[in-house]
Amino acid sequence: MNDPLPEHLVGLSKFLSLVLRHDPAAIGLALDANGWTDIDTLLARAAAAGRPVTRADFDTVVALNDKRRFSLSEDGRRVRAAQGHSVAVDLALAGVVPPALLFHGTARRFLEAILQQGLTSQSRNHVHLSADPQTATAVGRRHGSPVVLRVDTVAAQAAGVRFQRADNGVWLADRVPADCLALADTPAT
């Protein structure tokens, strides 16, 4: 497990998430079709935008981020967000057969709509799913009073849903039909 991120680097982690997931143009950065950008270019653009980042701090954030939000290319010269994008990128992840059950954490106030309409990606490129109810509970808690949904992936695949797994272990789908969802047996406490 990764060590906790030093407090002085939490803001940098959030900044990198913003730039690599949602708004690369904020610093004049371009992502390629798969979400990658050159690290040296990222650092130079951040500095030019008034947000200087040392390579050492960048490396620490990538290595110690508790959610493993960032992926490095095999040659270590490029970086991208592992998932969570709202900008158009194709992570080029292969379809993967998921476990029979996955979980989705959300706020209780969204439950009725989700049970009627299913899970949709909203402003993101994918629906995010967890392998365990504990992680899903933590995700739901970030949005309010948490509730956890159980996702029947066998039924979802039969309905045409394609699953992928991001580099950081988060399961991704374009959507999950309502009839593939149920409240998890595990209380979200």
- pLDDT (tens digit per residue) in 46-105: 999 999 999 999 999 999 987 889 999 999 999 999 998 999 999 999 999 999 999 999
Is pLDDT of 21 > 60?
yes
Same-domain pairing of 42 and 115: no
Mean pLDDT score of the chain = 93
Examine residue 89 and state whether it is found in any structural domain, yes or no. no
> Does some domain include residue 95?
no
**Structure tokens given for 16:** 């990198």
pLDDT at 16: 96
Residue 1 is predicted with a pLDDT of: 42
Write down the pLDDT at residue 58. 97
Q: Domain range spanning residue 43?
A: 7-81
Is residue 91, in this structure, part of any structural domain at all?
Answer: no
The last residue of a domain, from among 81, 111, 129: 81
Grade residue 141 by pLDDT with cuts at 50, 70 and 90. very high
| Last-in-domain residue among 25, 46, 81 | 81
**What mean pLDDT comes out for the span 30-55?**
97
**CATH number, position 46:** 1.10.10.970
- On whether residue 72 sits in a domain, the answer given is yes
As a dihedral over the C-alpha atoms of residue 119, residue 121, residue 123, residue 128, rounded to 10 degrees, the angle is 100
Confirm whether 32 is domain-assigned: yes
CATH number of the domain enclosing 141: 3.20.170.30
pTM of the model: 0.82
What are the backbone dihedrals phi and psi of residue 68, each rounded to the nearest 5 degrees, phi first?
Answer: 50, 50
| Position 139 in a domain | yes
Q: Please list, in sequence order, all residues whose beta carbon lies within 8 angstroms of the beta carbon of residue 141, skipping any fewer than 6 positions away.
A: 105, 188
- Residue after which a domain boundary falls, among 81, 109, 124: 81
Please tell me whether residues 117 and 178 are part of one structural domain. Answer: yes
Q: Please give the tally of structural domains in the chain.
A: 2
pLDDT of residue 186: 54
pLDDT bin (cut points 50, 70, 90) of residue 188 is very low
